[in-house]
């Protein structure tokens, strides 16, 4: 059954399942992506410079701010002002955390006198999207990395970990779960990989719209926040003026490595 990012994300086929065991095994390539990050650092340092605006980075499930340090370090080098989320380990939507993140976003906006870009890795992307809905006036854009916000809740290999860490059942009714497929009212980009071994990639596709897009890269799920191609896409999106936002156009040598536009399940 085909799935197009231009269709309603709620119509992701129920047949979509978690990635195959082979793709899950390929998650072992994440350390190589980290090595590639360091090897490509001279090239990454030549990416377009930032304008100094604040960027708030959310870690994935079971991770803390240490996991996003390489990403934040690159953003600092490029001229942005990145911030960790400062809520410890991401154990799911604990009471008060989401609103606390929205308040932090407003505080950073007031401090810098300009809206904040929000970047979320995996489950952290759910926070980024929801914070942008709670504080759209303080949000510049949202970029998610391998974030599942559409489709069946068990179309991934992390749902058992989620239940253990959050103390919640993945199938239980939850206000957040019911609305995460709705994109925020700001420019929103989903960076995803068909070779993601944790999250079924159709579950990371935005509905088509004037402020939404999907960018495909070749990466593991665990390595998305370290993958040079993914970080290049992130850096490109942060340079966009939200008032004149344009969708990703696959610049130069990345045209054959980074894909943008309609996608279909393999």
- 248 domain-assigned: no
Note down the domain range covering 202: 9-237
Residue 165 pLDDT level (bands cut at 50, 70, 90): confident
- 50 domain-assigned: yes
Which are the contacts of 231, defined by CB distance < 8 A and separation ≥ 6? 37, 44, 71, 74, 225
DSSP 158: -
Report the percent of the chain where pLDDT is more than 70: 86
27-69 per-position pLDDT tens digit: 999 889 989 888 898 889 999 999 999 999 999 999 999 999 9
- 41 domain-assigned: yes
Tokens of 120: 């979320």
167-216 per-position pLDDT tens digit: 777 776 565 667 888 999 999 999 999 999 999 999 999 999 999 999 99
- 31 domain-assigned: yes
- 39 domain-assigned: yes
Is there a contact between 97 and 255 (Cβ–Cβ < 8 Å)?
Answer: no
Q: How far apart are CA 93 and CA 87, in angstroms?
A: 11
- 253 domain-assigned: no
- 242 domain-assigned: no
Give how many domains the chain has, as a whole number. Answer: 1
- 182 domain-assigned: yes
Which CATH number belongs to the domain containing residue 121 in this structure?
3.40.50.1820
């Amino acid at each position: 059954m085909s799935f197009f990012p231009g269709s309603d994300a709620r119509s992701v086929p129920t047949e979509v399942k978690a990635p195959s065991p082979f793709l899950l095994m390929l998650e072992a390539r994440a350390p190589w992506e980290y090595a590639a990050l360091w090897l490509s650092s001279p090239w990454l340092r030549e990416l377009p410079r930032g304008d100094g605006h604040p960027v708030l980075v959310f870690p994935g499930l079971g991770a803390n701010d240490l996991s996003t340090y390489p990403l934040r370090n690159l953003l600092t080098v490029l001229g942005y002002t990145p911030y960790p989320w400062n809520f410890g380990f991401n154990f799911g939507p604990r009471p008060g955390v989401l609103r606390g993140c929205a308040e932090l976003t407003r505080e950073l906006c007031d401090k810098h006198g300009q809206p904040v870009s929000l970047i979320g890795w995996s489950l952290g992307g759910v926070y980024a999207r929801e914070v942008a809905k709670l504080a759209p006036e303080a949000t510049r854009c949202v970029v998610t990395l391998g974030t599942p916000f559409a489709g069946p809740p068990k179309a991934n290999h992390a749902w058992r970990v989620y239940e253990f860490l959050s103390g919640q059942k993945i199938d239980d009714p939850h206000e957040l779960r019911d609305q995460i497929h709705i994109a925020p009212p700001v420019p929103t980009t989903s960076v995803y990989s068909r070779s993601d071994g944790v999250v079924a990639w159709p579950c990371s596709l935005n509905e088509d719209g004037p402020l939404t897009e999907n960018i495909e890269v070749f990466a593991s799920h665990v390595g998305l926040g370290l993958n040079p191609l993914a970080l290049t896409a992130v850096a490109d999106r942060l340079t966009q003026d939200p008032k004149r936002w344009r969708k990703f156009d696959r610049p130069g040598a990345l045209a054959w490595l980074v894909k943008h536009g309609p996608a279909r399940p393999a």
